[in-house]
Amino acid sequence: MPTKTSLTYSHASANTTAVTPSTPFNGTTTASPGFLGQLLNKIPLPRWAVYTIFALVLLVLAVCILCICVKCCCKGKKKRKKKPDQQINLKGLNGSTTTALVQPDIDDVEYGSADKPRGRLLYSLEYSGQNSELTVGVKEAAGLKAMDLGGTSDPYVKVYTLPNRAKTYETKVFRKTLHPVFNEFFKFQVTLSELSDMTLVMQVFDFNRFTKHDIIGEVRLQLGAIDWNHVIEEWKDLSEASKFESRRTWERFVFPCVMSPLPVN
């Protein structure tokens, strides 16, 4: 009998040891947050604000990359037009013309070669001696040189006088056409004696939204050689723009998206 009792206690003890619970296990684990999570937690802004700022930064980078790509494409288009030699006419003081062969640099190529037709411009001139007022009409252009890859241009005209260049006027921009009809008139306050030393400049540009505006050509008129007894209306062929004036134009288009005239659809 004592033997049975001992065996019973031993069995019970074994059973008790078997069912004794171990250290409680917590089913939820706390993993240490990653670097991005720690960084976001340190920023004293709500998550939606952080994500919005991040999206804006990506958008600005995308716009910058797009502008760089567009500028590179435009430069590539102009470089393909480059010729090994280009003739430049140099007019001396005696009125004679001298032809010289030079190797043009990239800046020269941007304004095109002089031997290619650039189009024509129809303008009108009228002077009122009573009001000391010169009225310049920019009527229309025809056969303009295509400056865009699609075979068209977005032309507009800039009008000013030299040497003082007190005022500069601009027409509206016409989209994707080589034959724009402007019909715009601009007035300059100038005396008859001042006209003898003045030069009227009408420059035709191709509008570009993200890059420098390309100059198609220009018309320059010595106002002192004009008979002001009647209204003048005539067509003139566009000539190559003065390089010095073109560089000054580039300085005025540092921010083309802000300072440029609005396009006409």
For the chain, the maximum distance between any two Cα atoms, rounded to a whole number of angstroms, is 151
The per-residue pLDDT for range 149-180, each reduced to its tens digit, is 889 999 999 999 998 888 999 999 999 999 99
Prior bond of 117 cis (ω within 30°): no
0.85 surpassed by pTM: no
Write the DSSP assignment of 197-224 as a string of letters. Answer: T-EEEEEEEE--SSSPPEEEEEEEEEGG
> In 130-154, which positions are buried (b, 16+ CB within 10 angstroms) versus exposed (e)?
eeeebebbbbebeebbebeeeeebb
Stretches in the chain below the pLDDT threshold 70: 1-34, 36, 74-115, 243-265
Residues 6+ apart with CB under 8 A from 20: none
Q: What percent of the chain has pLDDT over 90?
A: 44
The per-residue pLDDT for range 190-199, each reduced to its tens digit, is 998 999 899 9
Please provide the CATH number assigned to the domain covering 117-239: 2.60.40.150
Distance (Å) of CA 7 to CA 10, 15, 16, 191: 5, 12, 14, 134
Per-domain residue ranges for the chain? 79-115, 117-239
Write the DSSP assignment of 1-33 as a string of letters. Answer: -HHHHHHHHHHHHHHHHHH---S---S---PPP
